């Protein structure tokens, strides 16, 4: 095998890995499109993130929500990322930012317990948001804030909305009203 053939094999393998990485995350929840930094700051501000919060970012992508939650708001932060390439990118950005109050879990957020969260950030898809409703009701404490960018959670009434930025803030209801919201 000559050098050109070897480079071609490496190049094709990289394309297959990247393509698979991008494609299979759609099966779990959604593809990756990072929220702009000003939107991330606005999301965390509207959610009222404080030092005593634990912010979970479902589909952490490059980790920007985690870094900003810790650096700008003093919170603890946990990312959940199914794509191994983006998991590594989040992990790398947390290390590069030198923040110890953030971590990233490699896994499927549908199979990861969220009960520790006081704020959950999502930028997923309408269908994925709909599928998450029952998980939120089962695992999150009443009053936990859920911040959705771009897509509302169908069947739930947002507590606060920024229509220009497409940010929706929800609070997990208490058990007496949760059956009304899980349509």
Domain spans of the chain?
Answer: 3-181
CA dihedral 114, 116, 118, 123 (to 10 degrees): -30
Q: Write down the pLDDT at residue 150.
A: 96
Q: How confident is the model at residue 46 (pLDDT cuts 50, 70, 90)?
A: very high
Over residues 77-135, the pLDDT tens digits come to 999 999 988 999 999 999 999 999 999 999 999 999 999 999 999 999 999 999 999 99
Three-class SS state of 132: helix
Q: Write down the pLDDT at residue 10.
A: 61
CA torsion sign for 20, 33, 61, 10 is: positive
CATH number for the region 3-181 comes to: 3.40.50.150
CB atoms within 10 A of CB 166: 15
Q: Percentage of residues in the chain with pLDDT exceeding 70?
A: 80
Is the CB of residue 61 less than 8 Å from the CB of residue 90?
Answer: yes
Among 18-22, 67-71, 151-155, the minimum mean pLDDT is found in 18-22
Helix runs in the chain, H state only: 3-28, 37-46, 64-73, 84-97, 126-139, 175-181
174 or 124: which leads in pLDDT: 124
100 or 19: which leads in pLDDT: 100
Q: How confident is the model at residue 2 (pLDDT cuts 50, 70, 90)?
A: confident
Q: How confident is the model at residue 26 (pLDDT cuts 50, 70, 90)?
A: low
84's CB contacts (< 8 A; 6+ apart) are 21, 106
| Helix or strand run (H / E) with residue 76 | strand 76-81
Q: How confident is the model at residue 180 (pLDDT cuts 50, 70, 90)?
A: very low
Q: What is the chain's mean pLDDT, rounded?
A: 88
Q: How confident is the model at residue 174 (pLDDT cuts 50, 70, 90)?
A: confident
Q: How confident is the model at residue 19 (pLDDT cuts 50, 70, 90)?
A: low
CB atoms within 10 A of CB 18: 11
Q: For 45-55, what is the mean pLDDT?
A: 98
> 161 - beta bridge partners?
168
């Amino acid at each position: 095998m000559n050098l050109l053939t070897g480079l071609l094999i490496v190049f094709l393998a990289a394309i297959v890995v990247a393509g698979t990485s991008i494609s299979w995350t759609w099966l779990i929840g959604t593809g990756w499109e990072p929220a702009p930094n000003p939107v991330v700051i606005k999301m965390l501000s509207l959610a009222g993130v404080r030092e005593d919060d634990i912010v979970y970012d479902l589909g952490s992508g490059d980790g920007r929500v985690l870094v900003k939650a810790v650096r700008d708001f003093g919170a603890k932060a946990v990312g959940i990322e199914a794509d191994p390439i983006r998991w590594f990118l989040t992990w790398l950005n947390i290390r590069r930012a030198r923040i110890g109050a953030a971590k990233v879990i490699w896994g499927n957020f549908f199979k990861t317990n969220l009960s520790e969260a006081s704020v959950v950030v999502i930028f997923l898809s309408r269908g994925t948001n709909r599928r998450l409703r029952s998980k939120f009701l089962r695992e999150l404490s009443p009053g936990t804030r859920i911040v959705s960018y771009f897509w509302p959670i169908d069947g739930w009434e947002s507590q606060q909305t920024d229509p220009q930025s497409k940010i929706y803030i929800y609070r997990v209801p208490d058990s007496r009203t949760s059956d009304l919201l899980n349509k």
